[in-house]
Amino acid sequence: MSVTTATTAAATTADQPVCAPLPVLGRDVTVPLVTGGEVGYAALDYAASAPALQRVWDDVAAYAPYYGSVHRGAGYLSQLSTDLFENARKTVAAFLGCRADDQVIFTRSTTDSLNLLARALPAGCQVFVFETEHHASLLPWQDARVTYLDAPRTPRQAVETLERALADRDPHGPALVCVTGASNVTGELWPVRELAAAAHAHGARIVLDAAQLAPHHPVDLRDLDVDWVAFSGHKLYAPFGSGVLAGRADWLRAAEPYLAGGGASRKVTRRADGAVEVEWHESAARHEAGSPNVIGAYSIASACRALTEAGWDTLVAREQHLLRAVREGLADVPEVRFLSLFGDDAPRVGVLSFVVEGWNSSHFAAALSAEYGIGVRDGLFCAHPLVRTLLGSDPQTQGECGAPEAAPGEKSLNAIRVSFGAGTPDEHVERFVTAVRELVAQGAKWRYRTEDGRCVPAV
């Protein structure tokens, strides 16, 4: 199916079943059920890793025979691969609305990108980060002066909390605000423009963790007025181990290279005293030492093109259709409680977390998989402080999976997350809603046990 055909098929009314606008790998995979037989796998864990777009896979397969070393090879394949790698950088820059003097650095992931920026902070930099962040954006700042901000309960409160914290900082030193664009737990959209305005009004810079935003919603650095943005390829339908840090160049140029080695160095000489002297690149190459992940970068560029060509209006409308199907399908199941910071009506991407009264979340997720062929995620989602806040738990409460026969609440500090995107067909969401309703009403059909901290079917 072409992108044009898929887009046209998706542009139907919100109340009619519509096919996924962008085909993904794995859509024909079947999995066994413990109750017998097989069923098509319903991948509803996009927030962890989205399946590869068929378009991305085809582009990579077409390029693979021409793969070569980049930047310094004289051969035809090396020159072709270099052009492809640098054109991928340009594609990503356009996708993100980068400014003329911004740098686009290819990394391994969002986590890698934010750790790179943490290494580039100027001396004395103070960092402001909400406790609601994913660990990838909560933890890299350990060597800086960090102010952790309490979880806000409205977007306005988020802005006010940041403004108060920034007003109390040293106005003469550098400062950085780190904020998510969309929560990996609740899917809620954060007021990025307003937070950026508050940061800049107080002389601070801001980096956007767009890991959950970029696959679901347009991200434009100029429109949002953020200084940097970070995201991962594997959440953007390009699972080949690459990520991006894009934004202002000055701190990156002034910092020591993230990794020391070939590619980052422009000139290396041996001094008379025997020491080695290095002149580092000032371009993105400064922080891309070693042989780059050309296929990872190319796959991100391919995904960026596919999402842009499909049209964000179509993709967002399609996702809202799926969100409504879940919320409305479970609205009359009082045992199901969705987790939210800003309220049930807050704008969000295709990510929802919930708990089910009387169930250990790991047990529930195991039953969805084993009995219905539905893949979701359970746990604390690498956002422990946020999930603890949403569940109203003490920081010392245990969070591992308990035995499924444990009493309600015993060792059950975990939740269930369902997430979807451009490759999710209606049937997967419909099956999920039916499965949740049946499990709540009838219970599991199989017995489960704990193995290595996970609930699994008993054999």
Catalytic residues: 382
Read off the tokens for 391: 């569940």
Q: Is 94 exposed, middle or buried (0-12, 13-18, 19+ CB in 10 A)?
A: middle
Cα 294 versus chain centre, distance? 21
| Distance set, CA 176 to CA 30, 118, 135, 322 (Å) | 47, 10, 17, 36
Q: Quick one: which of 298, 316, 188, 183 has its CA closest to 244?
A: 298
Angle separating helix axes 312-329 and 426-442, nearest 10 degrees: 20
What residues are paired with 356 via a beta bridge? 336
Angle separating helix axes 54-63 and 294-310, nearest 10 degrees: 140
Q: Quick one: which of 37, 33, 51 has its CA closest to 435?
A: 33
What type of residue is 223?
Answer: D
Q: Is 65 in a helix, a strand, or coil? A: helix
Q: Is 279 in a helix, a strand, or coil? A: strand
Tokens 């009082």, residue located: 334
Angle separating helix axes 294-310 and 3-10, nearest 10 degrees: 50
**Alpha-carbon span 259 to 264, nearest angstrom:** 8
Query: What sign for the dihedral angle of Cα 62, 284, 223, 97?
Result: negative
